[in-house]
Amino acid sequence: MNAKIAGVGYYVPENVFTNEDLTQYMDTSDEWIQERTGIKERRFATKHKETPTTMGAAAARIAIDRAGISPEDVDFIIFATLSPDYYFPGCGVLLQRELGITKTEIGALDVRNQCSGFIYGLSVADQFIRSGMYKNILLVGSEMHSMGLDFSTKGRGVSVIFGDGAGAVVLQPTEGEGILTTKLHSDGSYAEELALINFGSHGGYHDEVDYGYPDPKIPGGLFATEKMVTEGMMYPYMNGQKVFKKAVVKFVEVINEALGSTGLDKKDIDMMIPHQANLRISQFVQQSMGLPDEKIFNNIQKYGNTTAASIPIALCEAWEAGKIKSGDLVCLAAFGSGFTWGSALVRWN
């Protein structure tokens, strides 16, 4: 049996944060942000009320309902995020609890592949359905970037592009075509080019910071030190230009790889949903693939870059707008931290 996307859902917080709002905290402008990224505004989670898990659950309830099942029917959860509620356990089990799933005949897996987390999760779900192991897999991508961004001028090269939100799909077996292929890639030599290394278990491997314990037999010590907080070492770092240059090449490469392996042509694509990293990246992909405007969907203008959530949010919005119909060939593609990248081709049911 192949796997199909049986239900889609998304949730974005009510709180709209415009480019103008950002100028209160950093030296930036609406003009700069729109020109370089296409972003006009993003959503930020409601303080003390929302987390990646609660937002993921809101998106999941819609996807579950549209798949014609109830939460208790879900037999496997895959949760992709880089901004989890807790360092551990991951959001998978938190989502199970949030959805009120009390049965324990269920697995919960956390995926840490940042911008390509949804594609990686989709690929894992596809294999589990094909093997017959699970019948109703809930795949969620959810992010709360607002929790960990540097809103001072020092952090403007990173902070202006990210937003909060969640998207979800339910995967089920189908006798139809469904997911035709998924392609996954990684290149760890770029690991620190887009990264949040603190707090982590490197124990000074990169920066030789003294993590606290004088006993050399205790190599690490503390996850978080005062130095990390005072020197802003707990914010993400991004070499924007390097990421950009690599992304535009790899997006096109991995889409063509998926098309080639299925014997399809770029002209067969009915809807392209790229990870919403930067509108200029999406436009480059569109031009390279020769896609007309109606065959590519972008919503980064409204939500910014929501990392693991961006593809399912865009997929759901496109579907709700009637831009994806039965029989359509939908192409998903992502590139991001790791570097990791991937693509998927889906024949919509």
When asked if residue 305 is in the footprint of ligand UT7 (CB under 6 A), the reply is yes
- Catalytic pick from 275, 278, 298, 316? 275
Which of the residues 168 through 227 are near ligand UT7 (CB under 6 A)? 194
When asked if residue 142 is in the footprint of ligand UT7 (CB under 6 A), the reply is no
Evaluate whether 296 touches 272 at the Cβ level (below 8 Å): yes
Residue 134: phi and psi, rounded to 5, are -130, 155
Cα–Cα distance measured from residue 314 to residue 261, given in angstroms and rounded to the nearest whole number? 25
> What is the per-residue binding string for ligand UT7 in 66-105, x denoting contact by CB under 6 A?
----------------------------------------
- Catalytic pick from 19, 113, 115, 198? 115
DSSP state of 106: -
Which of the residues 103 through 122 are near ligand UT7 (CB under 6 A)? 115
Q: Which helix (H) or strand (E) holds 4?
A: strand 2-11
When asked if residue 246 is in the footprint of ligand UT7 (CB under 6 A), the reply is no
Contacts of 282 (CB under 8 A, 6+ apart): 38, 274, 276, 296, 298, 300
- By CB under 6 A, name the one of 195, 255, 277, 300 that touches ligand UT7: 277
Evaluate whether 342 touches 274 at the Cβ level (below 8 Å): no
User: How big is the site for ligand UT7, counted in residues (CB under 6 A)?
Assistant: 21
Residue 270: phi and psi, rounded to 5, are -95, -35
Q: Give the binding range for ligand UT7 (CB under 6 A) out of 3-11, 56-64, 277-285, 321-329.
A: 277-285
Q: Report the length, in residues, of the chain.
A: 349
Cα–Cα distance measured from residue 258 to residue 266, given in angstroms and rounded to the nearest whole number? 10
Which of the residues 33 through 52 are near ligand UT7 (CB under 6 A)? 33, 36-37
- Is 115 an active-site residue? yes
When asked if residue 19 is in the footprint of ligand UT7 (CB under 6 A), the reply is no
Contacts of 102 (CB under 8 A, 6+ apart): 72
When asked if residue 28 is in the footprint of ligand UT7 (CB under 6 A), the reply is yes
Residue with tokens 């269920």: 106
- Catalytic pick from 198, 298, 299, 305? 305
Q: Residue numbers of the site for ligand UT7 (CB under 6 A)?
A: 28, 32-33, 36-37, 115, 156-157, 160-161, 194, 240-241, 243-244, 247, 277-278, 281, 305, 336
Query: Known catalytic residues?
Result: 115, 275, 305
